[in-house]
């Protein structure tokens, strides 16, 4: 019997009409699958926000200057960003990782002066990163997962911060889901008709160049971002360690596509928290084979969508662990 079948049997044996908790039951089955046990737990949990900057911002693909990446990370450290507020509410510890500079995991006041030290090269003019840089960013993410596991964390919520990163995310979605760029281009953190047209042109050209590269890792590195590669490395390592990974929006989804390309089994650890308002996200989730549990029209990033699902994961875990069986109630 698979874990999914055993969990379904357990749910059907509980003191309730079969299926009466609707999608919460599907979430419980998914949580059980990711942990390989019928009595899973959504605690302790940790939000990891991976940050990176992007040379492609110079092409006018968005509205914001890349100084906003560092400014927002500092706001997270101060506990005043949207993600920080939601993490407090969800009882999730928050760890910030500068994927670009390969800095140490960050949390707390001591890191006030931290900044994104290095962004990717402009992917419109050449590869965003070299093969060794790609491997180093994967390792940054893997180390973050290993540290979480060593600290006893069972559930990792993944988020990102990186002005410009919907452009590499769109490139990766087009490349790895094998769709036309137009299907995965969207407004990101805001757009004008002009910035959208630039993004469309940049993504179309970069994806065509990446598709011509024979080695898949080189092709991915050519259009990736440091935080996106770190997310991929984090998912792969968390999956190897049996942690549950709760995915946020479009950019984290692009990181998951990279993880899937490197190791398809990594998807077994993943739960898609929500479907982002970014139009390409639905296609990414389809390609990942994951069902989004929420659709709240969110597109902030920072892990906010993943955090929103955590109380429901608690409910799913409690259901499996704490509810009496029908046999106990009816005496048979």
Ligand X SMILES: Cc1cc2nc[nH]c2cc1C
Binding range to ligand X, per CB under 6 A, among 10-18, 238-246, 299-307, 319-327: 299-307
Instruction: Determine, following the binding rule CB under 6 A, whether residue 52 of this chain makes contact with ligand X.
Output: no
Q: How far is the CB of 165 from ligand X (least distance, A)?
A: 8
Phi/psi at 157 (5° precision): -95, 130
Residues of the shown chain interacting with ligand NCN in the complex, contacts defined by CB under 6 A: 62, 64, 160-167, 188-189, 248-251, 276, 278, 281, 299-302
β-strand pairing of 93-98 with 155-161: unpaired
**Distance of alpha carbon 297 from alpha carbon 240, whole angstroms:** 32
Residues 173-232 interacting with ligand X (rule: CB under 6 A):
189
Q: How far apart are the first and last CA of the chain?
A: 24
Out of 78, 135, 302, 328, the active site residue is: 302
Provide the mask over 145-174, with x wherever binding to ligand X is found by CB under 6 A and - wherever it is not: ----------------x-------------
Q: Which of 98, 302 has the CB closer to ligand NCN?
A: 302
Q: How far is the CB of 202 from ligand NCN (least distance, A)?
A: 11
Residues 300-319 interacting with ligand X (rule: CB under 6 A):
300-302
Contact 271, 34 (CB under 8 A): yes
Task: Please confirm, yes or no, whether 302 is among the known catalytic residues.
Answer: yes
Q: Which of 127, 162 has the CB closer to ligand X?
A: 162
Q: How far is the CB of 20 from ligand NCN (least distance, A)?
A: 32
Residue 263 in 3-state DSSP? coil
Measured in residues, the chain has a length of: 332
- Which of 44, 55, 103, 56 has its CA nearest to residue 77? 103
- Which of 131, 100, 122 has its CA nearest to residue 205? 122
Q: Which of 4, 43, 64, 102 binds ligand X (CB under 6 A)?
A: 64
Phi/psi at 49 (5° precision): -105, 115
Instruction: Determine, following the binding rule CB under 6 A, whether residue 144 of this chain makes contact with ligand X.
Output: no
The per-residue DSSP string of 120-133 comes to: B--TTTS-SS-HHH
DSSP code, position 36: T
Q: Which of 84, 224 has the CB closer to ligand X?
A: 84
Binding site for ligand X (CB under 6 A): 64, 68, 72, 161, 189, 300-302
Catalytic residues: 302
């Amino acid at each position: 019997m698979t874990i999914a079948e055993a969990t379904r049997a357990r749910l059907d044996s509980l003191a309730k009409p079969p299926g009466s908790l609707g999608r919460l039951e599907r979430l419980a089955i998914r949580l059980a699958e990711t942990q390989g046990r019928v009595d899973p737990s959504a605690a302790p949990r940790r939000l990891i926000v991976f940050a990176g900057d992007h040379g492609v911002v110079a092409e006018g693909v968005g509205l914001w200057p890349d100084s906003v990446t560092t400014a927002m990370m500092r706001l997270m450290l101060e506990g005043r960003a949207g993600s920080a507020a939601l993490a407090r509410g969800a009882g999730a510890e928050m760890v910030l990782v500068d994927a670009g500079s390969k800095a140490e995991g960050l949390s707390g006041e001591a890191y006030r002066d931290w900044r994104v030290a290095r962004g990717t090269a402009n992917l419109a003019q050449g590869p965003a990163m070299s093969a060794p840089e790609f491997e180093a960013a994967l390792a940054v993410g893997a180390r973050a997962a290993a540290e979480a596991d060593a600290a006893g964390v069972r559930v990792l919520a993944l988020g990102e911060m990186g002005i410009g990163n919907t452009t590499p995310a769109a490139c990766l979605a087009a490349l790895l889901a094998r769709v036309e760029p137009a299907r995965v281009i969207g407004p990101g953190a805001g757009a004008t008709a002009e910035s959208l047209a630039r993004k469309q042109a940049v993504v179309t050209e970069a994806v065509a160049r990446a598709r011509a590269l024979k080695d898949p890792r080189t092709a991915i590195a050519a259009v990736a971002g440091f935080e996106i590669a770190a997310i991929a490395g984090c998912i792969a390592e968390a999956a190897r360690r049996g942690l549950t990974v709760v995915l946020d929006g479009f950019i984290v989804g692009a990181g998951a596509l990279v993880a899937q390309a490197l190791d398809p089994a990594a998807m077994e650890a993943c739960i898609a928290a929500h479907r982002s308002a970014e139009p390409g996200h639905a296609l990414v989730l389809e390609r990942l084979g994951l069902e989004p549990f929420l659709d709240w029209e969110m597109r902030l990033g920072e892990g906010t969508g993943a955090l929103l699902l955590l109380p429901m994961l608690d409910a799913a875990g409690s259901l499996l662990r704490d509810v009496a069986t029908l046999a106990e109630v009816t005496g048979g």
